[in-house]
Amino acid sequence: MKKKLVLCTQIPEKRIQEIERFCDITIAGELKHGKGNVTEKMVREECKGFEMVVLGDENAKADTLNEWVESGMKFIGVAKGTPVTVDNEVLKAAGIPLSYTPGRNRAAVAEFNLGLMIAVARKLTLSAIGLAKGEHVGEPMDDIYDVPDVKNVTFGPLDEKHPFMDYGIGFELYGKKLGIAGYGAIGREVAVRAKAFGMEILAYDPYISSEVIEKDGGRAVDLNTMLAESDIISLHLPVIEATKAMVNKEWFSKMKPTAYLINTARAAVIDQKDFVEALQNREIAGAAIDVYWKEPVPSNHPLLKMRNVVCTPHMAGLTTDVDNWSGEMMSEEMLAYIRGEKRKYIWKR
């Protein structure tokens, strides 16, 4: 007899065909109604009465989970890197492990992270926005294709009108020290890619052995060493009680005044007021951030107006490839459950 499975997130077609041999599949949640178009009440009703429930971004708090457990749920998966949308305490009490997809977007975030580093190091967004606004451009031409035969084409002499004097001259990543705060799946991917740029890696993570870090070509250091020596610090910390507002004025006071902070993790790990003041007072040189304490970020947030800050709207973790990676991982979890095998991706917190 086939198992009853309700699916709210994308799974590769090849895996669907494999799972259909064992399960009757019902589509629900955002997979049925579209991103952002479901409430917890809708999901609670649609997913009730299934042995297997697989969620994406849908919320499932205590009342919802208890209702599902009572109606026969024995497997639940959340296709997220951090399944905070589900109350795991209820599941632990019911003896139901929570499958998730750690590191599903690690390549996406790591690549974006390197992009932010280059953006702050080479003044990319500042100069690109400046040109788009009409800064440091020449007079209009009747025929833009009628150009003089000049071999060394430049923006002119290095005087007060030159873009370098306005936006600043950037620096190379090559030879710089990159501090990685949190050497999990994404932190490691950033470190490996940064090594290819010729950066020296200083990794701080009290839960990861120095052997693991050194095997990747990095150096395991304590927090104070990372803060004092790094030219760029990249945050890859989960939001738990111990890390909330951990990045504060004490951190900034120990960083180089020429250092930059990159955050593609969660804003809650940074003390917002201390961060704004450190940037305004130039305690640190600048920052690049993709996440905020309230999203969408308020239009009057001071970070949006700072010339030493690159801001992006929470884009690092989403690519056209991410759903495929998370779908593959969740498929492995579902098939392991169906076959009575040990699962690899169980949420421990």
List residues with catalytic annotation. 266, 295, 314
* R_g of the chain computed on alpha carbons: 24
CA-to-CA distance for 181 and 331, rounded, in angstroms? 31
Q: Residue 86 carries which DSSP code?
A: B
Dihedral angle computed from the Cα positions of residues 186, 191, 194 and 200, in that order, rounded to the nearest 10 degrees: 160
CA-to-CA distance for 89 and 95, rounded, in angstroms? 10
264 residue type, one letter: T
Cα distances from 209 to residues 191, 212, 219, 220, 221, in angstroms, run 15, 6, 11, 8, 11
Between strands 177-181 and 286-289, the pairing is unpaired
CA-to-CA distance for 120 and 32, rounded, in angstroms? 40
Between strands 200-204 and 177-181, the pairing is parallel
What sign does the dihedral 306-312-316-317 (CA atoms) show? positive
